Amino acid sequence: MVPTISDQTSDDVRDPDLVAVQEGPEAAGELTRPAGLDREKILQAAIDFIDEQGLAALTMRRLGSSLGVEAMALYRYVPGREDLLDGVVDRVVETLWDDRDGDDIQVVDHSGWQDYLVRLAHGMRRIALAHPAVFPLVASRPPAAPWVRPPLRSLRLVESFLGTLREGGFSDQAAVAAYRAYSSFLLGHLLLEVTQIGAQVSLLDQPEGDEQAQRETDMSEYPNLARTESLLGQDKSAAEFEESLENLLDRLERVLHEARNSGGDVGDL
């Protein structure tokens, strides 16, 4: 039922082109030899590997051979497997900053905190959908500090979040409460969305079995399930994400204005 660990075997050593480099030593900068390792190259290879083969299939030996290298070579650049995974998470989350054409999350002149939260949500969702097999790692790896809540995993990100809300008029308490509500929302929605993607994929690649024998198993015992099965199968993730996000923003806005009007230090969400 589970994807299992890959399947097909080895068959390594595929391309001797790797050696065909032209160019002198430094002259044109580093020569980008395909075999020249560095930490970034290894992390990117790990991300690609997980995207293609799944997390369970990632081993040091296989990752090495996907780079045309023995497993032990990786240990010059990465302290071990756990640290490699941490690096993968960091690198994936960091695509928040550099990627989206002009939608930089970081810049200060937002159109307001609502706009910031919407951009940030869409950015994280883009990342989750781009790397559905990596996202569970983003969600579940122990964070740097105990109050860093996945998937908003970097101090820089939390700092930017709190700063933007402060500028928007939130008290410290309200901003922190918003941070927690927002991270819960993101984590729940995105993790379920990528889980569903993974589940559908893993259904496709094993069409085997006893024909259509137990397609609906004992669905007869579950009338509500049977009746709504097609509804349950529909994917409205995008619309539901927007809906929940809007609801959260409304709630935050309400809290913000109530706090302002009452003048007190309400803060609790």
Query: Can you give the binding site for a second copy, defined by CB under 8 A?
Result: 1-3, 82, 136, 139-140, 142-143, 146-147, 149-150, 155-156, 158-159, 162-163, 166, 172-173, 175-177, 179-181, 183-189, 191-192, 195-196, 198-200, 202-203, 221-225, 227-229, 231-233, 236, 239-240, 243-244, 247, 251, 268-269
Q: Toward DNA, which CB reaches closer, 57 or 181? A: 57
- In the list a second copy, DNA, none, the entry touching 184 (Cβ below 5 to 8 angstroms by class) is a second copy
Shortest distance in whole angstroms from residue 50 CB to DNA: 12
The residue within the footprint of DNA, chosen from 7, 36, 115, 226 (CB under 7 A), is 36
Contact indicator for 68, 37 with CB cutoff of 8 Å: no
Tokens of 240: 């539901």
What distance, in Å, lies between the first and last C-alpha atoms of the chain? 41
- The reply to whether 73 sits near DNA by the rule CB under 7 A is yes
CA distances 87 to 67, 117, 127, 145, 165, Å, are 17, 25, 15, 16, 29
Helix (H, G, I), strand (E, B) or coil at 9: coil
- In the list a second copy, DNA, none, the entry touching 198 (Cβ below 5 to 8 angstroms by class) is a second copy
Question: Burial of 30 by CB count in 10 Å (0-12 exposed, 13-18 middle, 19+ buried)?
Answer: exposed
- The reply to whether 85 sits near DNA by the rule CB under 7 A is no
Tokens of 94: 């960091």
- The reply to whether 76 sits near DNA by the rule CB under 7 A is yes
Single-letter residue type at 157 = L
Contact indicator for 84, 46 with CB cutoff of 8 Å: yes
Shortest distance in whole angstroms from residue 163 CB to a second copy: 5
- The reply to whether 197 sits near DNA by the rule CB under 7 A is no
